[in-house]
Amino acid sequence: MRLAACAAAVFVVAACSSSSSAGQVSPSSPASSPVASAAVSASAAPTIECRLPVWWPDDATSDIHVGLLPIPSGGITNQETLSPTTDSTALSSFQFYGATYFGAAGGWKRLNRALVSPDGTRYTYWNSVGTNTDTVHVLDLASGADRVIYEGTVLYWPIAWTADGIYLVHAIAPRQGAFEKLYLLDPAGGSQPQLIAGSDRHMYQYGWVLVADGAAWGIDNSVSGEAYSYSVLRLDLATFQVTTWHGATSDMLWPFGVDLQHRLYAGDAQLFERIGANGTAETLQYPGSDALFSNEGPGGVSGFVADAMGVWLDGTGGVWRYSNDGMAQEYPAGPAAAIVNPAGPCA
């Protein structure tokens, strides 16, 4: 998920943070939190519970290194290197940067996992083919067949592919981090993107940044004098109702993902929280790296995976796991200075 290696539309957003979440219910502060952290060694935990697919970039070569991390014993196995493709489509968008693991039978592909179809057979991405022409594509992963399903003067940026179809945002000025509204596009093609009811409303400049757990999640803001405040909104994709999931604070918390208990994980460069349906926010131990907290625009967070074991986050020199009860644990993997990303559930 490192943007330095991505194509022209890529940007990094400096996290806005000045204090912890005011008015939120936090069972424990970072200083007194019972959350524990520990690096796991092979000698300490010999039993392999599952294998977590991970990847990390090689900034010197633009290669991506991948492998399987045994949990909890550690020690990466089945290592491979994914080199940049010569296919011109890979140069059109940072949405080709990253890696997705398709299991033992399917292996690895150099793709952003959020944009893979639910059945794992296709991939969507955008491309610009001229000064005033932008396209959205569907790529068949087995045959390599590439179809244009949208072509027009409006730049739509795919952020998720779910059972509903392909969710897009209108990229007004992606270099400046300006996006708006939410749309749904039929992957079969032959139709225009359809505006999602409730999504056309006041938002912070990044708008709707995540689609997960039957909802879209985004950031709103307000200004009072010189004071800025931010809130996290949830748009239910079945009822189209918008609710405030996290009340206004001076921290601009970026929604990363949702666990299997329907709790949202969000954070900035100083604060990491898990937010439940009743709006209560638990302050979790901050990971040892701020890698995850470099915002990458809508749909750009690749270092978050939810499974039955909890959630997995990227980190420097390893990955972090937050169990369902909030306990944090670091698992070393890859070079000490590399940003290591989970690439799928631990299985």
- Residue 64 domain flag: yes
CATH of the domain at 135: 2.120.10
Q: Which burial class, exposed, middle or buried, applies to 290 when counting CB atoms under 10 A from its CB (0-12, 13-18, 19+)? A: middle
Q: What confidence score (pLDDT) does residue 3 get? A: 36
Residue 90 three-state SS: helix
For the chain, the domain total comes to: 1
Write the pLDDT tens digit of every residue in 251-305: 889 999 999 999 999 988 888 999 998 778 999 998 866 556 665 678 766 789 9
Residue 162 pLDDT greater than 80, yes or no: yes
- Residue 220 domain flag: yes
Percent of the chain with pLDDT over 70: 80
Q: What is the pLDDT averaged over residues 137-160?
A: 94
DSSP 222-240: EEETTEEEEEEEEEETTT-
In this structure, of 54-63, 93-102, 113-122, 287-296, the range with the lowest mean pLDDT score is: 287-296
Q: What confidence score (pLDDT) does residue 76 get? A: 93
Q: What tokens were used for 330? A: 């670091």
Higher pLDDT, 316 or 89: 316
Q: What is the pLDDT averaged over residues 102-111?
A: 89
Q: Which burial class, exposed, middle or buried, applies to 132 when counting CB atoms under 10 A from its CB (0-12, 13-18, 19+)? A: exposed
- Residue 347 domain flag: no
Among the listed residues 266, 213, 299, 229, the one whose alpha carbon sits nearest the alpha carbon of residue 23: 229
Q: Which domain holds residue 74?
A: 3-342
Higher pLDDT, 9 or 212: 212
Q: What confidence score (pLDDT) does residue 60 get? A: 84
Average pLDDT, the chain: 82
Residue 147 pLDDT greater than 90, yes or no: yes
**Alpha carbons 104 and 265: distance in angstroms, whole number:** 29
- Residue 165 domain flag: yes
For strands 272-275 and 310-316, give the pairing: unpaired
Residue 93 pLDDT greater than 80, yes or no: no
Q: Tell me, yes or no, if the pTM score tops 0.85.
A: no
Q: Confidence class of residue 85 from pLDDT cuts 50, 70 and 90?
A: low
- Range 112-117, long-range pairs (CB < 8 A, 24+ positions): 112/299, 112/302, 113/302, 113/343, 113/344, 114/159, 114/160, 114/161, 114/299, 114/302, 115/158, 115/160, 115/161, 115/299, 116/141, 116/161, 117/161, 117/187
- Residue 23 domain flag: yes
In this structure, of 80-84, 93-97, 160-164, the range with the lowest mean pLDDT score is: 93-97
Write the pLDDT tens digit of every residue in 11-50: 333 333 333 333 333 333 333 333 333 444 333 444 668 9
Q: What confidence score (pLDDT) does residue 297 get? A: 74
**Alpha carbons 212 and 138: distance in angstroms, whole number:** 21
- Residue 287 domain flag: yes
Percent of the chain with pLDDT over 90: 59
Higher pLDDT, 297 or 127: 127
In this structure, of 49-53, 57-61, 67-71, the range with the lowest mean pLDDT score is: 57-61
Q: What confidence score (pLDDT) does residue 129 get? A: 80
For strands 133-140 and 146-152, give the pairing: antiparallel
Q: Which burial class, exposed, middle or buried, applies to 46 when counting CB atoms under 10 A from its CB (0-12, 13-18, 19+)? A: exposed
- Residue 32 domain flag: yes
Q: What is the pLDDT averaged over residues 323-342?
A: 92
- Residue 51 domain flag: yes
